[in-house]
Amino acid sequence: MRVMRACREMGIGTVAVYSEVDRRSLHVRYADEAVAIGPAPSRESYLNIGRVVDAARSIGAEAVHPGYGFLSENAAFARAVAEAGLTFIGPPPEAMERLGSKTAARDLAVGAGLPVVPGAQDLHGFDDVEQAAERIGLPVMLKAAAGGGGKGMRMVTAHEQLKSAWRDASSEAYNAFGDETIFMEKLIERPRHVEIQILGDRYGNLIHLGERECSLQRRHQKVMEECPSPVADEDLRRRMGETAVRLGHLAGYWNAGTAEFLVDADRNFYFLEVNARLQVEHPVTELVTGVDLVKEQIRIAAGQRLAIRQHDVVMRGAAIECRISAEDPARDFFPSPGLITAWHMPQGPGVRNDSGVYEGWRVPLDYDPLMAKLIVSGRDRAEAVARLGRALEEYEIGGLETTIPFFRQVLKNDDFLAGRLDTGLVSRIIAAAGADQPGQRVDVSSGNGTGRLTTEAQLAGILAAALEAGSGAVAGVREPGANGAGEASAWKRAGRDAQLNNWPKRNL
C-alpha cells in the first residue's frame, strides 16, 4: 500500500501480486491490476522468484518494487528481474551480495578498518560453533547470515544452551530465508540499536538522512522506532553517517538502504549489517527530513540523479512509529488472527497511518501479524510522545487482540519517557507487567528458550502446536488449492481462528 500510494501520486500504474489467502487483501483491491501467484505458503507464492517475475511479464509491467520482506534482499531475485527486461527498484545485485549478507558486509567493514562487534563466521557445524563460543566468550548472539527481522537469532548465556540455540537458529533461518548459514557475535550488554538511512544514485552520489533509534525490540523484532535518536548529537550523527556512506561507496551501492549499528553505554558504535532495502520504519525519517523515500527509490531506479545533497538534509522535530500487530500482549503476544469487526484509526495533527487491512478483513495465520503502523510527529520528542499517547487512545480495533495496550504501557515507563533506551527495555517492561499481574507470565525476557512460562502460557503454546499440527502437516487433511497445491480446508481454518479468539483474555 505504501509503494502503490507513491506510484499513484506519480501517475504510475500498479500491479499487485497475491497468494490465495490474500485474495481479498487491501493491496489487491487498491492496485490497478492484480495477479495470483500461488497458495498461502510463502515458498509457493511470495518467495517463488519465477512466479513473481512471470506475473510481472504477463501483465506488461516495467519495474518491480520488492517491498520490505520476502525477496526484498535477494540478489538472485534482483538478477531475475533484470534478466526479464524489468527494472528492479532497489540496489544492484552485486551491492546486495556485498552488503545484504551480514557476513559479507562484516568482511567489507573489517577490511575498511571500521568498528565491528567481535565475532565469527563460516560456521559449518556445531563443532565450529562451539569453538567460536570458547574463543569469543559468552554471552554471544547467533544470527542468520541471509536475513533479518529477528529471524534466526538466539542469545546464548550458558554453554548448555549453545547446541539447541544453534539448531533452532539454523532451522528458523532456513525456513525464513532458504539459507541455514549462521554466524556469531559477542553480545554487548544493554546496547542501543541505531541505524542510518542512506540514499544514492547510479552516478556515485550517496548521502545519509540521519539516524533512527530502533532499540525497542521484542525477541529481536523492532516494535517502536523514532527519529532522531535520543542518544545522538551532531558529532555522533556525523560519524555514524560517514561510516554508513563509506560502506555504501565500497559496495557500489545505490537506491535506499540502511546501515545498522550498536551503540554502547560510552557512545561507542559498532557496525552490524546493512539492510539492502526500504525499512518498515522508514516513515519516521520521512517525517523528520521531508524526503519521500519511496518516490526517491523510483526516480533513482528510473536513472535520475539524486536531487539532494548532504548539506540539503535538515532534520526538524521528532517522529515515533508503533507497529500495530494482531497479537495479544496479555498472553505473551500470542497470535490473535481473525475477523476485524471494527477499524477506526486516529486522526488529527501530526498523525500518519500506514495500513494494509480494513474492517471486514480476516487476519490470517500465514504471515507476519503486522496490520498497520501508527506514526506521529511533533516539534520535539516530548510533543511526539504526547501525540502518540493521544493517538493510541483514539485507535479502535474490534474482533481481535492487538499490541495497542502494550504501547500504552510503554508510554508510562520512566526510562522510555527519559529516552534511556536499550534493546532489553521492552523485555523489562513486559516482565514488570507480569509481576504486577501474577499468574499470566513469569519471564518473556529474551526468547532464547530460558524463560519459564505460567500454566496459561504453556497451555497457549500447546494449543498453538496442536493447531499447527492440525493444519495438515500431521493430519494430512488438505483441499486442492491454486496451481495444484493445497491449503488448509475452510472449516479447519475457521475452527482454528475461533479457538484462538475464544481464548480467555485479560487486560495487560
pLDDT tens for 205-227 read: 999 999 999 999 998 899 999 99
Model confidence at 93, pLDDT cuts 50, 70, 90, reads very high
Residue 490 has phi, psi (to 5 degrees) of -60, -40
Which pLDDT score is estimated for 117? 87
CB 415 within 8 A of CB 188: no
All residues at 6 or more sequence positions from 366 whose CB lies less than 8 Å from its CB, including other chains: 19, 21, 40, 41, 42
Which pLDDT score is estimated for 92? 97
Pick the CATH number of 2-91 from 3.20.20.70, 1.10.540.10, 3.40.50.20, 3.40.50.300: 3.40.50.20
- Please give the positions annotated as active site: 277
Cite the DSSP H helix spans in 437-481. 455-468
> For 12-61, what is each residue's pLDDT tens digit?
999 999 999 999 999 999 999 999 999 999 999 999 999 999 999 999 99
Which pLDDT score is estimated for 447? 32
In this prediction, residues 357-373 reach a mean pLDDT of 94
Cα 131 to its chain centre, rounded Å, is: 31
> For 389-408, what is each residue's pLDDT tens digit?
999 999 999 999 999 999 99
**Domain layout of the chain by residue ranges:** 2-91, 118-186
Model confidence at 437, pLDDT cuts 50, 70, 90, reads low
Low-confidence winner among 282-291, 299-308, 457-466 (lowest mean pLDDT): 457-466
Which pLDDT score is estimated for 395? 97
In this prediction, residues 271-297 reach a mean pLDDT of 97
Kind and range of the H or E element at 341?
Answer: none
| pLDDT higher than threshold 80 for residue 498 | no
| pLDDT higher than threshold 90 for residue 274 | yes
343 strand-pairing partners = 397
The Cβ of residue 69 has, within 10 Å, a number of other Cβ atoms equal to 20
In this prediction, residues 353-380 reach a mean pLDDT of 95
Q: How far apart are the first and last CA of the chain?
A: 31
| pLDDT higher than threshold 60 for residue 281 | yes
Which pLDDT score is estimated for 463? 52
Which pLDDT score is estimated for 479? 31
| pLDDT higher than threshold 50 for residue 10 | yes
Cite the DSSP H helix spans in 178-292. 234-251, 282-289
| pLDDT higher than threshold 80 for residue 448 | no
Task: Determine the Cα–Cα distance for residues 50 and 81; give it in Å rounded to an integer.
Answer: 9
CB 382 within 8 A of CB 362: no
Which pLDDT score is estimated for 189? 85
Task: Determine the Cα–Cα distance for residues 364 and 177; give it in Å rounded to an integer.
Answer: 21
In this prediction, residues 66-76 reach a mean pLDDT of 94
Considering the chain, what is the average pLDDT of its residues?
87
Q: Which three cell numbers stand for residue 314?
A: 535538515
Q: Among 292, 212, 197, which residue's Cα sits nearest to residue 253? A: 197
Which pLDDT score is estimated for 212? 98
CB 356 within 8 A of CB 4: no
Class of domain 118-186: alpha beta
Q: Which three cell numbers stand for residue 477?
A: 487433511
| pLDDT higher than threshold 70 for residue 110 | yes
Which pLDDT score is estimated for 145? 82
Q: Which three cell numbers stand for residue 486?
A: 493445497
> For 450-473, what is each residue's pLDDT tens digit?
333 344 544 555 455 445 444 443
CB 424 within 8 A of CB 445: yes
CB 53 within 8 A of CB 81: yes
Which pLDDT score is estimated for 103? 81
CB 358 within 8 A of CB 341: no
Which pLDDT score is estimated for 451? 32
Q: Among 366, 359, 368, 353, which residue's Cα sits nearest to residue 399? A: 359
Which pLDDT score is estimated for 445? 32
Model confidence at 475, pLDDT cuts 50, 70, 90, reads very low
CB 28 within 8 A of CB 45: no
Q: Is 166 helix (H, G, I), strand (E, B) or coil?
A: helix
| pLDDT higher than threshold 90 for residue 253 | yes
Comparing 445 with 263, which gets the higher pLDDT? 263
Which pLDDT score is estimated for 177? 82
| pLDDT higher than threshold 80 for residue 489 | no
> For 74-90, what is each residue's pLDDT tens digit?
999 999 999 999 999 99
Measured CA distances, 33 to 44, 58, 314, 433 (Å): 21, 12, 38, 46
